[in-house]
Amino acid sequence: MDAAHARYARAFAPGHITGIFAPASDSKDPRGRGSRGAGIVLELGVTANASFRLGPSRRVRVHSDGAEPVSISTEVARRLTPSTRGTLTVRLHHALPIGQGFGTSAAGATATALAVGSLVDRPPSETVPIAHLADLFGGGGLGGVAAILGGGLELRVRPGIPPFGRVVHRPFNATLFVGVVGGPIPSPRVLSDHRVLDRIAAAAAELDELYHHPSPDEFFAASERFTDSVGLAPPALRRVLASLRRRGAWAAQAMFGQSFFAMPRTPTNRPAIVEWLERSGLRAVELRPARRGAHRLTP
């Protein structure tokens, strides 16, 4: 590489909503840890722009357009930085709120892994596990990286990153509404509460049934029951969910945010749902599920 020039690479990783899950950490290899569960991969997510310029010393800089720290993505960049002296710079653009159950830590880590991996000529099969481990040990989530390697409705049948884990992706063509009601709920705090984990394990008992009947309606019904059984939704979010359900929507909490995702039970219910969302003043948008998972982009 000419010292006067930098190398560039870009990657995109979609966001993700978990509707129902069960933690799984009994594998000896951490690449086989994470969660069983089900969720929806979103069309919006995180874009990573990476560059490397030769210099007198090794430096890693990770910048985000959000106010929140991106320690997990920074850890990924540090582990993949070239051995050659120079400055590795990663700039992250988040199209979804951070800390609201939209899988932004996993998306940021995965986009960083793919972009920096392209700079150092390492394949995704080597760099994506690094993103999974950083997200897992950094307290970002339990299996988000594995979930976003494909699009649509995802079913984490076996925990961990493939080939340790197994994730099945089903087409999901309907749009859904997502919205934010309050401030972020830190994942590490929730995942360290043993009482919460016990409730989650009990509420996730119907996962096997969902795996046998993985339709969007079955997923939403299971997510509603999971939300109600686990009881993590603050009062304001519970009121929003109740209002949406009264107007004919499937509605559940996006784990673990003060946020919701919803879908009309029938097309005729959509106008009433849209009208109520517009009047409520909530930060809500209508999104499509992603058609594909995390991938590299043309620089």
Question: Which CATH number do you get for residue 188?
Answer: 3.30.230.120
Sign of the C-alpha dihedral, residues 207, 211, 217, 218? negative
Question: How much of the chain exceeds pLDDT 70, in percent?
Answer: 96
- Count of CB atoms within 10 A of residue 2's CB? 7
At 187 the pLDDT is 65
Q: Per the structure, how many domains does the chain have?
A: 1
**Contact assessment for residue 165 and residue 221, using Cβ atoms and an 8 Å cutoff:** no
User: What pLDDT, on a 0 to 100 scale, did the predictor assign at position 185?
Assistant: 72
pLDDT digits (tens, 9 = 90+) for 201-243: 889 999 999 999 999 999 999 999 999 999 989 999 999 999 9
Q: What is the pLDDT of residues 119-161, one digit of tens each?
A: 999 999 999 999 999 999 888 778 899 999 999 999 999 999 9
Range of the domain at 19: 1-299
Please give the share of the chain, as a percent, with pLDDT higher than 90: 79
Q: With contact defined as beta carbons under 8 Å apart, do 143 and 34 qualify?
A: yes
Over residues 172-194, the pLDDT tens digits come to: 999 999 999 988 876 666 777 78
Q: What is the pLDDT of residue 3?
A: 46
pLDDT at 92 over 50: yes
Q: Are 167 and 147 in contact (CB under 8 A)?
A: yes
pLDDT at 254: 95
Over residues 22-42, mean pLDDT: 93
